[in-house]
């Protein structure tokens, strides 16, 4: 058998842990004390032990439940044994679960006791379970050699080990092993001081080795860097000599270039001075020519303007008069425009007032519709809360009533009939019910079980039905009791009332849906309170507008 994976959930102090084992070799699980190493072995044993079903309340099962929170322990393992490979999982609880998923040699999926029994069959077929139990040693238990009580197992082990003489004994070896272990570990598995000190010395030595190794690496790196720097220094000396020769040649060229540059700068400055003087002389000459031409044009323009002034004098006088009249007309038009602007602004405010009136009415109507729809929805919800019937309840009551009718028909068909005929006016008692018979009257009674007819002071007649009739009567009684129970549970007296109540429930449901649709449509993106406040504020603005209106003129538009 090989364990590929084991997972623990809510197991003792382990909330969740999963360990995956290598496909070959031996896997050693290492961890701190109380980390759950022993729990893995214990959990595998509980999972595979045929005594601990998922609903078991044995002490070993209850002992693995976590104490820090209320949860059920779960174990899952992926195992291969013989030709089989499967995933087996259990959760121990009052409603525990067991699942088995076999992937080889063919696919199988089982749950519950069938899964548990199938795993036991696989283990019995492919595994020596007694040997597995004999080789298991758990921490915290008495440390001793495994017990080989099974004679077949012991014989097989003896055969595999070879012949052993009468004087051969391994007790001394075992005692030596135990003594050596006791030097370093306590009986409960805790480290002793000598082991801790040895481990500390090993850690210190390892730290010293690491430090010396690092120092050696640094020295070797420094040596390599020194050799590299020496090579770089020689190369840089050669480059420095070459650079100095190139620098001397460049300095001679720079000195010659500086002399040429100074001569060029002097010639360039002289050329710019002469160019500036030439431009200034040309500008002055052009300015003098422009002044001569401007003087001639001014003389001609003056004569022309004088002639035009003489001709425009009458028109100027007329223009002055027209200007005065236009100013007066402009002033009057300005006053008319201001009055019109005020009238237009007042008309705009009146139109806004009318719009607010319409909007206030619309908001008020929306609010009233919302309130009415809410009342309708509350009434419909009250009906829905009062009536808990559905179509299935109606079908059950209808079926029960049909059963009563059929049982009553069968009982009446197979029952005896007692007919009492009055030969004179008298009082009789039929099954404890007083009946008055006039002369010639008949009283017919079906006898399902038994019936008693008493003529007071004269006669008692008892009629008893047969066994078949009593059986039919018992079935009728059960059918009627079932019908009464269903009606009482539904809060109705009979089938017709149940159907009427269901119809009222359907109507109320439709009314509730319609009211909800109306509310959503009228509220849009508002709430009831926001809609009411908005309508109230708008109505207040509409009511206050007549007092705030600044004109006595009637409004241009009326509400």
Q: What is the mean pLDDT of each run of 10 residues along the chain (559 residues)?
A: 93 90 83 80 89 86 86 94 95 89 94 93 86 66 52 57 52 79 82 85 90 89 86 85 84 82 83 84 84 83 81 80 83 83 78 81 82 85 80 84 79 67 79 78 69 77 68 76 82 81 85 85 79 81 76 57
In a domain, 429, yes or no: yes
CA distance 332 to 336: 6
For residue 505, tell me if it sits in a domain: no
Is 73 within the bounds of a domain? Answer: yes
Q: What do you get for the CA distance between the two ends of the chain, in Å?
A: 96
Domains of the chain: total: 2
Print the domain residue range for 69: 2-127
Q: Note whether residue 368 is domain-resident.
A: no
β-pairing verdict for 426-430 and 433-437 = antiparallel
Domain ends where: 75, 101, 127?
A: 127
Q: Which of the listed residues 112, 127, 142 is the one where a domain comes to its end?
A: 127
Instruction: Report the distance separating Cα 540 and Cα 410, nearest Å.
Output: 78
Please report the beta strands in 379-492, taking only residues with DSSP state E, as ranges in sequence order: 416-421, 426-430, 433-437, 442-447, 450-455, 459-464
DSSP 530: H
For residues 535 and 523, what is the distance between their CA atoms, to the nearest angstrom?
A: 12
> Is 54 a domain residue?
yes
Residue 101 lies in a domain: yes
DSSP 491: T
Preceding amide of 105 cis, omega within 30: yes
Examine the fold and report which residue of 97, 127, 157 is the final residue of a domain before the chain moves on: 127
Task: Tell me whether strands 84-91 and 2-11 are parallel, antiparallel or unpaired.
Answer: unpaired
| DSSP code at position 554 | P
Indicate the Cα dihedral angle 513, 516, 521, 522, nearest 10°.
Answer: 140
40 within domain boundaries: yes
Reduced to 3 states (helix: H, G, I; strand: E, B; else coil), residue 1 is: coil
In this structure, are strands 426-430 and 442-447 parallel, antiparallel, or unpaired? unpaired
Which whole-number Å values give the CA distances from 468 to 448, 452, 471, 548, in the listed order?
Answer: 9, 19, 5, 97
- The residues facing 6 across adjacent strands are 19, 77
Alpha helices in 415-494 (DSSP H): 467-490
How many angstroms separate the Cα of 281 from the Cα of each of 208, 270, 284, 285?
A: 97, 17, 5, 6
Please name which of 361, 358, 366 lies closest in space to residue 520, comparing C-alpha atoms: 366
SS3 83: coil
328 is a domain residue = no
């Amino acid at each position: 058998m090989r364990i590929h994976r084991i997972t623990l959930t809510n197991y003792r102090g382990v909330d969740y842990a999963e360990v995956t084992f290598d496909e070959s070799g031996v896997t050693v699980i290492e961890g701190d004390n109380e980390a759950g190493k022993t729990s893995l072995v214990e959990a595998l044993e509980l999972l595979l032990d045929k005594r601990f079903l998922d609903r078991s309340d044995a002490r070993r099962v209850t002992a693995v439940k976590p104490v820090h929170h209320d949860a059920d322990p779960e174990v899952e393992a992926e195992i291969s044994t013989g030709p089989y490979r499967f995933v087996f999982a259990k959760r121990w609880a009052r409603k525990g679960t067991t699942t088995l998923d076999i992937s080889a040699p063919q696919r199988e999926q089982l749950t519950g006791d069938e899964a548990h029994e199938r795993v036991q069959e696989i283990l019995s077929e492919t595994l020596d379970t007694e040997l597995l139990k004999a080789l298991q040693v758990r921490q915290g238990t008495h440390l001793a050699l495994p017990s080989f009580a099974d004679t077949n197992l012991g014989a097989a082990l003896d055969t595999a080990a070879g012949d052993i003489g009468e004087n051969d004994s391994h007790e001394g070896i075992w005692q030596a092993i135990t003594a050596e272990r006791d030097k370093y570990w306590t009986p409960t598995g805790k480290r002793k001081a000598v082991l801790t000190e040895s481990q500390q010395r090993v850690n210190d030595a390892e730290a010293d080795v690491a430090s010396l190794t690092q120092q050696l690496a640094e020295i070797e790196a420094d040596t390599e860097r020194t050799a590299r720097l020496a090579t770089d220094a020689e190369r840089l000396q050669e480059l420095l000599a070459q650079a100095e020769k190139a620098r001397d040649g460049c300095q001679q060229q720079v000195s010659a270039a500086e002399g040429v540059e100074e001569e060029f700068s002097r010639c360039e400055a002289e050329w710019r001075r002469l160019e500036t003087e030439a431009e200034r002389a040309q500008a002055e000459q052009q300015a003098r020519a422009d002044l001569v031409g401007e003087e001639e044009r001014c003389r001609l323009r003056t004569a022309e303007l004088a002639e035009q002034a003489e001709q425009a004098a009458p028109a100027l006088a007329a223009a002055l008069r027209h200007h005065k009249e236009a100013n007066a007309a402009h002033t009057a038009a300005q006053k008319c425009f201001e009055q019109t602007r005020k009238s237009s602004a007042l008309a705009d405010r009146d139109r806004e007032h009318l719009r607010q009136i319409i909007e206030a009415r619309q908001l008020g109507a929306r609010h009233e519709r919302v309130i009415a729809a809410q009342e309708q929805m509350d009434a419909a919800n009250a009906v829905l809360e009062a009536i808990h019937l559905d179509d299935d309840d109606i079908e059950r009551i209808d079926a029960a009533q049909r059963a009563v009718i059929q049982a009553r028909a069968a009982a009446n068909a197979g029952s005896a009939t007692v007919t009492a005929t009055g030969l004179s006016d008298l009082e009789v008692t039929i099954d404890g019910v007083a009946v008055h018979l006039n002369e010639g009257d008949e009283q017919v009674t079906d006898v399902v079980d038994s019936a008693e007819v008493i003529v007071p002071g004269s006669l008692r007649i008892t009629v008893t039905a047969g066994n078949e009739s009593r059986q039919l009567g018992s079935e009728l009684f059960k059918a009627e009791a079932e019908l009464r129970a269903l009606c009482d549970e539904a809060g109705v007296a009979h089938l017709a009332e149940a159907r009427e109540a269901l119809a009222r429930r359907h109507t109320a449901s439709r009314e509730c849906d319609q009211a909800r649709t109306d509310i959503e449509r009228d509220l849009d993106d508002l709430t009831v309170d926001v809609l009411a406040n908005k309508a109230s504020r708008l109505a207040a603005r509409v009511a206050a507008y007549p007092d705030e209106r600044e004109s006595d003129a009637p409004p241009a538009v009326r509400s």
